[in-house]
Copies of this chain bind each other. A is one copy, B any other.
Amino acid sequence: MSRLIDELKKLPGVGTKSAQRFAFHLLRSSDEDAAALADAVRELKASLRLCSICNNVTDVDPCAYCSSPVRNQRLICVVEEPTSIASVERTRGYMGVYHVLHGTLSPLHGVGPDQLRSANLLARVERGGVDEVILATSPTLEGEATASWLATALRNLTQRSEALQGKTVKITRIATGVPAGSDIEYADEVTMSRAMEGRREL
């Protein structure tokens, strides 16, 4: 029992109290239900893995995006988490592929460049198979720091890559600005500054 409670406490947001409640619930459940949960946990790890190309969570390797013949494999959108892909897919306008970092730079939490899964992105760009990298990390403190670090790393890389032979890889950042449908009077000053700086010619 206490071994189960200790394991349940490793789940995010679950403390001793919740873990005990879960454990007692499982104790009272039928043998089948408990077995089903145990199997589902085991199967998850057996069937899901990270795509070796883009780090997305997938059951086949490479993932559906990286193996898609209709997607532009030379256009990469870099996101923080596998769940961020859904935000970009909802736009129905993006037909490139992805790269998942599984986090952002966060020195306070001990996340440096080495803890991010960026090595396979850099390798992919260095091999010369990429035209544009869109940095779609969130416009938060950590997301901006990550985008700026990646932009520098990618620029240094493309300058010394032999496969690229002087070809430039476009490095772009998604727009920060006033959200669609909202009034500029509700925009905070940082957002409004960025909206003014990022103005585009019509």
Contacts and interface: CB of A to CB of B under 8 A. Distances in A.
A159 B198 CA distance: 26
A188 interface: yes
- Band of interface residues on A: 35 or more
Contacts of A88: 184, 192, 196
A151 B197 contact: no
A109 interface: no
A57 to B, nearest CB: 15
Contacts of A81: 185
Nearest to A152: B202
A91 B192 contact: yes
A139 B170 contact: no
A45 to B, nearest CB: 25
Given A134-B196, A138-B178, A172 B184 contact: no
Interface in A113-151: 134-141, 143, 147-148, 151
Interface of A: 77, 79-81, 83-84, 86-88, 90-94, 134-141, 143, 147-148, 151, 170-185, 187-202
Given A138-B185, A173-B199, A174-B177, 9 more contacts: A81-B185, A139-B178, A171-B202, A175-B200, A176-B179, A177-B194, A177-B198, A179-B179, A180-B190
